[in-house]
Amino acid sequence: MFVYTIRRLIQTIPVLIGVTLVVFLMMHLIPGDPAQIMAGERADAETVELTRDRLGLNDPLPVQYGSFVWNAVQGDLGNSIRSGRDVSAEIVPRFWVTVELAVYSTILSVFMGLIAGIISATRRNSISDMVIMVVALFGLSMPNFWLGLMLIQYIGLTVGWIPVSGWGGAAVILPVITLGTAGAAIIARMTRSSMLEVIHQDYIRTARAKGVKERYVIYKHALRNALIPVVTVVGLQFGVLLGGAVLTETVFAINGLGRFVVEGINQRDFPIVQGSVLVLALLFVLVNFIVDISYRLLNKRIELD
Amino acid sequence: MADTTVSASTVEKKRINPQIENFKNVWRKLRQNRLAMAGGFLIIFFCVAAVVGPWLTSNDPNMPNVSDRLQGPSGEYWFGTDHHGRDIFTRLVHGMSITLRIGISSVIVGGTVGVFLGIISGYYGGRIDAVIMRSMDVLLAFPSILLALGIVAVLGGSITNVIIAIAIFSIPVFARIVRGSTLAVRKLEYIDAVRALGASDARIIFLHILPNIVSPIIVQATLFIATAVLSATGLSFLGLGATPPTPEWGAMLADGRNYMWDHPHIALFPGLAIALVVLAFNLFGDGVRDALDPKLKS
């Protein structure tokens, strides 16, 4: 297990290099001169040249990349073009808002998804199974930003005590439902098919044959093994949630990292875009790492490589 | 005597094309799946509507009509009008082709590149495999729509750039699946046999491996169209895709947002349209997956 963890850790190094490289290159692939963008559209040639020098844009690309990574490791992601403020300082509070949103949504989707999936699997082909699967399929097909708008319209504006924008307190309810629905649908479908597969295994028949109560068979024997593939889906879902947070935060005017990216793009404030995208990608790499390790812990049958 | 000849020739006939037999088999399974067929019919209906629809609607999708603004659904305006007085139904019909074009072309572009990379990776292995798959890992490290968002930020917002962004975002998905299937097929004996007969790598890859890994590619392509449509409408909703007055559905939602509180129909119908298209591809994709290979169901 320890060896596996170390090996998995080493595997993330090329990914980290790649991610930083892509984010770094974003800046250089933008049409136009970064120094000109940084200095402002109306800046004269001298200011642009000064900015270019200050940003180190005259250095060779590998040197620039090196200092980008070096600064990022030290928590320096540059300054915003518009406000001049330190990007890292702007990112930190927003980062926690997005993490909160994603974690609550994950909890909601795992909770709803597991319950719905288990009901569906244990009552296969019943009315409740069909209803759950149809609802899940629709939940999966809805654009989450539209679901958010509909929730505001039909719940937020009729139920007085639920705020329809911002973050904190009751205001988390609608965004979490918005972001968690698709995940719940995916987890419900996954749990159902995984449970159905496990229920047909020999050891379940053995458990039933030796007189174990049906409830124990389902929760102790079947669910444990059925959960293994679900864990991977939850991990992947977390990435989808981080991406989906961009839309959810925009709909509910939440000051999270996702909305920050969109603002940065709209205002052509590239240090903000760069910094936020980098942080979100690193978070996702970390989550994937944790999921892989826990998957390994749950499933002892899996081969080491 | 006569009997044996007849049966021998039938056997011979059946052997002529196992691929057609296989196709018939899949089609039979697919036809029994009502939900999948419903999805398939919806897709056909949407495609026909996208091509024929714009000729049948009498209203102009982009021409403002101030006297009829913000009207509820009626006999004249089936889904009502928006804040410029434009008929929402007409705009949805005109937007259908944009949605389908983005969904289908991004999957074709991204799928082609992804399949190529995946097959090369799985077939050659070694250093080529390591380089390709690590690059795919990097692309996958960006959470879903975020990569597309970054690409559109670099390229600028337009329908073509949205297609490019979503295509790039789909490459690693295809590459991973294809690599896995290629690895499984590569080890089979008939590949060794073909190679012993002196077939070139290109011949083995395109004539002997590719036809045998088509199933997972088709399944993934169908299901990814659904993802592509959701991502594309999301990008337009954020103002990073199609720009007004283009009747793109995500842009319509963003555009009508400020008026929807008093006039819910403005946001209701474009959202339903997106959900229906995505649902159709999900239903059909699920069905195709079950018909092609029940083992893929996971």
- Position A96 scores a pLDDT of 92
Q: Does position B264 have pLDDT exceeding 60, yes or no? A: yes
Report residue B297: phi and psi, to 5°.
-70, 85
Tell me the pLDDT tens digit for each residue of B81-110: 777 767 778 888 888 888 889 999 999 999
Question: What is the CATH code for A96-298?
Answer: 1.10.3720.10
Smallest CA–CA distance, residue B278 to chain A, in Å, is 5
Residues of A in contact with B237 (CB under 8 A): 143, 145, 247, 250
Inter-chain touch A18–B141, beta carbons under 8 Å: yes
Longest alpha-carbon distance in chain B: 86
Residues 6 or more apart whose CB falls under 8 angstroms from that of A1 comprise: A296, A297
Mutate to test the interface with B, among A27, A105, A141 (most CBs of B within 10 A): A141
Residues of A in contact with B233 (CB under 8 A): 143
C-alpha distances out from residue A215 to A80, A120, A207, Å: 57, 15, 11
Closest-CA residue to B173 (of B142, B199, B149): B142
Residues of B in contact with A240 (CB under 8 A): 143-144
The token pair at A23 is 């984010």
Tell me the pLDDT tens digit for each residue of B131-140: 898 888 888 8
Inter-chain touch B238–A243, beta carbons under 8 Å: no
Q: How confident is the model at residue B2 (pLDDT cuts 50, 70, 90)?
A: very low
Q: Are B123 and B186 in contact (CB under 8 A)?
A: yes
Rounded average pLDDT over A14-25 = 87
Q: What's the angle, vertex CA B240, arms to CA A34 and CA A106, rounded to 5?
A: 105
Backbone region of residue A169 per phi and psi (left: phi > 0; alpha: psi in -120 to 50; beta: other values): left
Q: Write the DSSP string, A253-288.
A: T--SHHHHHHHHHHTT-HHHHHHHHHHHHHHHHHHH
Closest-CA residue to A283 (of B146, B172, B170): B146
Residues 6 or more apart whose CB falls under 8 angstroms from that of A16 comprise: A282, A285
Q: Are B121 and B133 in contact (CB under 8 A)?
A: yes
- Position B69 scores a pLDDT of 66
DSSP state of A161: T
Strand partners, B81: B87
Residues of B in contact with A190 (CB under 8 A): 298
The token pair at A252 is 């509910």
What mean pLDDT, rounded, does chain B reach?
A: 81
Q: Which stretch of A70-79, B81-90, B244-253, B269-278 has the lowest confidence by average pLDDT?
A: B81-90
Rounded average pLDDT over A5-34 = 82
Q: Are A110 and A234 in contact (CB under 8 A)?
A: yes
- Position B61 scores a pLDDT of 73
Taking CB atoms within 8 Å and a gap of at least 24, the contacts of A19-23 are A19/A278, A19/A281, A19/A282, A19/A285, A19/B138, A19/B141, A19/B142, A20/A65, A20/A68, A20/A69, A20/A72, A20/A278, A21/A65, A21/B138, A22/B138, A22/B142, A22/B150, A23/A274, A23/A277, A23/A278, A23/A281, A23/B150
Tell me the pLDDT tens digit for each residue of A55-98: 777 778 888 888 888 888 888 888 887 777 888 888 999 999 99
Inter-chain touch B271–A143, beta carbons under 8 Å: yes
Q: How confident is the model at residue B293 (pLDDT cuts 50, 70, 90)?
A: low
Mutate to test the interface with A, among B140, B146, B177 (most CBs of A within 10 A): B146
Q: Write the DSSP string, A120-141.
A: HHHTTTSHHHHHHHHHHHHHHH
What mean pLDDT, rounded, does chain A reach?
A: 83
Residues of B in contact with A265 (CB under 8 A): 149, 152-153, 240
Domain B42-62+76-292 part of CATH 1.10.3720.10? yes
| Residue A45 CB neighbour total at 10 angstroms | 9
Residues 6 or more apart whose CB falls under 8 angstroms from that of A164 comprise: A152, A156, A157, A171, A174, A252
Of B143, B261, B275, the CB nearest to A153: B261
Q: Are A100 and A248 in contact (CB under 8 A)?
A: no
Domain boundary assignment for chain A: 2-73, 96-298
Q: Are B230 and B278 in contact (CB under 8 A)?
A: yes
Tell me the pLDDT tens digit for each residue of B167-190: 998 999 899 889 988 888 888 888
The token pair at B16 is 């002529």
Most confident of A24-33, A54-63, A256-265, B204-213: A256-265
The token pair at A168 is 């904190």
Q: How confident is the model at residue A112 (pLDDT cuts 50, 70, 90)?
A: very high
ipTM summary value: 0.84
- Position B1 scores a pLDDT of 42
C-alpha distances out from residue B147 to A7, A232, B168, B241, Å: 27, 21, 8, 14
The C-alpha atoms of residue A225 and residue A219 are separated, in whole angstroms, by 10
Tell me the pLDDT tens digit for each residue of B61-80: 777 776 766 667 776 767 77
Strand partners, A86: A79
Inter-chain touch A243–B143, beta carbons under 8 Å: yes
- Position A58 scores a pLDDT of 75
Q: By percentage, how much of chain A surpasses pLDDT 90? A: 13
Q: In chain B, which residue's Cα lies nearest the Cα of A190? A: B298
Across B49-68, b (16+ Cβ under 10 Å) vs e yields: bbeebbeebebebeeebeeb
